Structure 1
Amino acid sequence: MSMTMNGTQLPDLTDPHTFVPGVPHEGFARIRELPGLHWQPTEVGTANGGFWAVTRFADILEVESNPALFSSQPGSAWPMSNLPIDPVLNPAYNNLMFMDPPRHSSVRRVAAAAFGPRVVKNFDPWVREIVVEILDHIETLTEFDYVLEVARTIPSYVIARVQGVPREDRQWIVDQTLAAFEGQNAGDLGVVTKVLEDTFTYYREKLVPGKLKNPEDDMTSVLIHAAERGEITEAEAYDFLNLLQAAGFETTHTLIGQSMRLILEDPDIADKTYRGIRELGADKVTEELLRIITPAMFMSRTATADTELAGQTIRKGDLLNLYFIAANRDPAVFDRPDEFDPWRTETASLTFGSGAHRCIGNALAKLELRILFEEMARRDFRLTLNGTPERGWSTFINQIRSLPVAHVDGRAA
């Protein structure tokens, strides 16, 4: 769970046990203060026996601004890294996160036309319908698991609606997503490949044929018809659907679950959240929760040539893990970085990355949490812990698997 480097105790960033008690923020702070970059040894998913932990805000911006020098193609998230840049041997070859410009730019352009912030604004009415339906349901319960009933359900319904997935297939899609994340966390390429094959079979045999015959206002229709026009390949369209399914679900699921955990465990955060919604609106509160939580804790890049970063010599083939969760608490950027403060003036964060790979679905994640907070505030919806929260075993996602709660006013009683 930890290692000693030059007399300094540092967390082992390759060990899921390190993250089970919580994110090792003190360890990240020690790494940030070291000169150069911290080398984390591991034989898994690397060409050179380890990876560089990049934890400072400015250093991550520099890496993400130069995709030609720091590539996503060999793998965008360790340990699914050091993969062959080959369409046959690499199961993620057509995944947007595993692309560099200019190929990345063409696929992203098609998706962004149907998924940009101005378009997502129009999602408000039907996302609100989903949230209201879920809140109506849990008001009938005395006690429940917030992750199961709320944090998983909202994004799974929303992403299925964006994709155009029939309601009866939603749970299967969610199960596939969770299985892929388990495989990725374990570094099991076989599991990930099997999940991708099954998911793409579903797209080819059930979802896509219907959209070709009867296009609808959804992402599948947009992508598959773009492929018909030759703007992107069919494989790229399918892979973006899978990316939307995985990233859109897991990130928002974590954000919603961890937000409520913070509110229930910390009275100061609870007070600032409710007061912030009243005084600032839910958007500002959401932005600060995103900074504090940082659902996807890092992304990976591979050096394409010998270079230097932060005074550190980087070899060709070296893997760099960009720890957004550490950079979002960088005191060089944020005043009182460990404090939850929706009123802070430093609003930029790296929760969704930066540069060419800034998360295309960030507006939708923000919309879902904002609407949830607005609807809960409208109902004066208050919960209390009803057991011990369970974190996930993940070096990648700031995961929460279970959050047992009960209504403060015992509504179902």
Structure 2
Amino acid sequence: MMASGTPILPPDTAREVIDPHSYAEWGSLLDTFDRLRAESPVAKIVPDEEGLFEPFWLVTRYEDVMRMSKDNRTFLNNPRPVVFSLNSAIEFSRAATGSDMLVDSLVVFDAPVHPKYRRLTQDWFMPRNLAKIEGEIRIIANRVVDKLLEAGPELDFCKLVSAPYPLHVVMQILGVPEEDEPRMLMLTQQMFGGQDADLSGTGMENMTPEQVLQLVSGAVKSFEDYFAEIANQRRENPTDDVASVIANATVDGEPLPDRDMAGYYIIVATAGHDTTSASTAGAMQALAQDPEQWAKVKADRSLLPGIVEEAIRWTTPVQHFMRTAAEDTELGNQAIKKGDWLMMSYVAANHDPAQFENPRKFDAARSPNRHLAFGAGAHQCLGLHLARLEMRILFEALLDRVETVELAGEPKRSTSTFVGGLKTLPLRITPA
């Protein structure tokens, strides 16, 4: 039973929020979030088919999502899944792992476990330490631009640049040999892009939900087996990479359990490149659509940090996370009960006109730009400094070596409710 006056979204709207295909139709999805934010910023979504998924609250207003992000005592990552899941997926995960989630990682832990695990690698991802690898990243960026110039004048920026570049950077950090990177990309796309037939590359449009679950589970198992071997290597021969930090880490005097260690590797390996790939493609799309802005930043590189930050907001690669209420509370004038499940829509929050003037416009001069694409509070993205550094270095190389850029076709977004962004970006370039 719903409390009297509880706003319940109609079935068609509810389906749009949870349907991965909606996130490929970006403009109409933003229209829906604009309407919901104005009419029912905190509203209940209930299944129209008995048992398909658990009811949850959809939160679309920036100030509410920010409050939830920072209030980690009231809004927990556990015990329910931290990403929207159908009941069949939760049951599958429980049977396979004993947990509601196929992967236990930083994003699913609460205090006191979360801060202990986060501290293990936090210093490694701070700007002072990342400065040590800036030269290596610059070499990788210039090699990618070499390939772009060789392929031109017309090319798919996603396939040639924005997908392989951050992948190569993070795999170097994890000690993964370059010849294994295509496998890592495929497994990531099966985990995060498993809802998109083009990205998963498995003919999954013909699969049953159970077969899709098997696909994702298989990707997780492959990751676990692969990184178990990496961890063994780093225990025998530790280096100064983050793979060695994870392999040799201890919490409360004990090594990490195998499942937690695997989850740590997987979250760095997957979230460490797929999200940056999306933001990088988003930045290039915006610049390709606005030759004047490309010319301005080419002449004045001080504009580049603003372009990077705005691309991250404008794209919002991590589209949502779920939280569970630890106690009765109130949010957006709605009574939230202990145990209620809530979706923080970062897409809606990052396009809230109360926080961002003309939010659908790509505005490199936007200031302040306190977006929520990295989250906020204790769970703010561990790799945010690395993502910004990678994007800045790549665009410095692009701006040095590319004279003009324009669209050569229609960009297409991926079909995914969780991590999303462009999957194709056809460009026409002129070398400098």
- Taking structure 1 as the reference length, the TM-score comes to 0.88
**Within-5 A mapping of 1:256-405:** 256-264=280-288, 266-267=289-290, 270-276=291-297, 278=300, 280-405=302-427
Worse overlay, 131-140 or 315-324: 315-324
Per the alignment, residue 167 of structure 2 pairs with: 156
Once the two structures are TM-superposed, the CA of residue 10 in structure 1 deviates from its matched residue by 8.2
After the TM superposition, which of the residue ranges 219-228 and 207-216 deviates more from structure 2? 219-228
Determine the C-alpha separation between the residues in 2 that align with 1:209 and 1:12. 45
Is the contact made by 1:107 and 1:232 (CA closer than 8 Å) also made in structure 2? Answer: no
Mapped contact 2:83–2:320 kept (Cα < 8 A): yes
Aligned to 2:217: 193
**Larger mean Cα displacement after TM superposition, 62-71 or 150-159:** 62-71
Equivalent pairs counted in the alignment come to 403
Distance 1:153 1:44, change over 3 A: farther
Counterparts in 2 of 1:276 and 1:53: CA distance versus 1, 3 Å:
farther
Distance of aligned partners of 1:97 and 1:272 in 2 relative to their CA distance in 1, 3 Å threshold: same
Per-residue CA distance 1:288-312 (angstroms, 9 max, x = gap): 1111111111111112333221111
1:15 and 2:19 aligned = yes
Question: Which deviations, in whole Å up to 9, do the C-alpha atoms of 1:231-263 show, x marking residues without a partner?
Answer: 643432221110011111210111112222222
**Structure 2 CA distance, aligned partners of 1:76 and 1:5?**
21
Contact kept, 8 Å, 2:82 with 2:322, in 1: the verdict is: yes
Q: Which residue of 2 aligns with 1:221?
A: 244
CA distance in structure 2 between the partners assigned to 1:45 and 1:285 by the alignment: 45
User: Within 2, Cα distance between the matches of 1:44 and 1:218?
Assistant: 48
Change (3 A) 1:197 1:11: closer
Q: Deviations over 1:348-405 (max 9, x none)?
A: 1111001111000111111111111111111234333333322211122332212222
* Structure 1 position 48, deviation (Å): 7.5
Q: CA deviation at 1:134?
A: 0.9
Q: Give the whole-Å Cα distance in 1 for the aligned partners of 2:388 and 2:48.
A: 37
Counterpart Cα distance in 2 of 1:12 and 1:371? 37
Report the counterpart of residue 31 of structure 2 in structure 1.
26
C-alpha separation in 1, matches of 2:394 and 2:53: 45
Task: Tell me whether 1:79 sits opposite 2:100 in the alignment.
Answer: no
Cα distance in 1 for partners of 2:237, 2:381 equals 29
Which of 64, 67, 71 is the aligned partner of 1:62?
A: 67
- The 3-state SS of whatever aligns with 1:79 is coil
Q: For the Cα contact (< 8 Å) 1:80–1:189, is it kept in 2?
A: no
Amino acid at match of 2:242: M
| From 111, 118, 122, the counterpart of 1:112 | 122
Q: Structure 2 regions of 5+ residues with no counterpart?
A: 1-7, 197-208
Moved more, 227-236 or 302-311: 227-236
Q: Secondary structure in 2 aligned to 1:164?
A: coil
Which letter does structure 1 place at the counterpart of 2:365? W
Alignment partner of 2:17: what SS? Answer: coil
Q: 1:137 to 1:227 in 2, by over 3 A?
A: same
Q: Is the contact made by 1:384 and 1:405 (CA closer than 8 Å) also made in structure 2?
A: yes
Cα shift readout 1:162-205 (whole Å, capped 9, x = no counterpart): 1111122111111111111244787954333222112111122x
Identity fraction in percent: 27
Q: Is the 8 A contact 1:297 1:396 kept in 2?
A: yes
1:407 paired with 2:429, answer yes
Matched residues in 2 for 1:45 and 1:212: separation?
49
Work out the CA distance in 2 between the residues paired with 1:124 and 1:33.
44
Describe the shift of the 1:182–1:407 C-alpha distance in structure 2 as closer, same or farther (beyond 3 A): closer
**Residue aligned with 1:52, SS:** strand
| Stretches of structure 1 lacking an aligned partner (at least 5 in a row) | none
Query: Is the 2:321–2:343 contact (alpha carbons within 8 Å) kept by the matching residues of 1?
Result: yes
Q: Which digits, 9 at most, give the CA deviation of each residue in 1:250-277, with x for residues without a partner? A: 101111122222222x32xx42354246
Aligned to 2:239, the other structure's residue is in SS state: coil
**2:188 match:** 177
Residue 247 of structure 2 aligns to which amino acid in structure 1? I
Q: Is the 8 A contact 1:155 1:252 kept in 2?
A: yes
Structure 2: how far apart are the matches of 1:66 and 1:207? 36
- Number of the residue aligned with 2:277: 253
AA aligned opposite 1:293: T
2-structure distance, mates of 1:48, 1:379:
50
Match of 2:402, SS state, is coil
Q: Is the 8 A contact 2:9 2:43 kept in 1?
A: no
Check conservation: 1:300, 1:320, Cα contact below 8 A. Answer: yes
Partner Cα separation in structure 1 for residue 156 and residue 35 of structure 2: 35
Query: Which residue of structure 2 lines up, in the alignment, with residue 133 of structure 1?
Result: 143
Q: Give yes or no for contact 2:402–2:430 (8 Å, CA) kept in 1.
A: no
Q: 1:363/1:274 Cα in 2 relative to 1: closer, same or farther (>3 Å)?
A: farther
Alpha-carbon distance, 1:113 to partner: 2.3
Displacement after TM superposition at 1:108 (Å)? 0.4
Structure-1 separation of matches of 2:295 and 2:109 = 41
Q: CA RMSD in A?
A: 2.9
The structure that is helix-richer by fraction is 2
Matches of 2:365 and 2:275, distance apart in 1: 24
Give the superposition deviation at 1:315: 2.6
Moved more, 111-120 or 73-82: 73-82
- Which deviates further from its counterpart, 151-160 or 310-319? 310-319
Distance 1:49 1:89, change over 3 A: closer
Q: TM-score, normalised by structure 2?
A: 0.84
Partner Cα distance (2:86, 2:40) in 1: 28
Residues 40-59 of structure 1 mapped to structure 2, 5 A cutoff: 40-42=45-47, 49-59=54-64
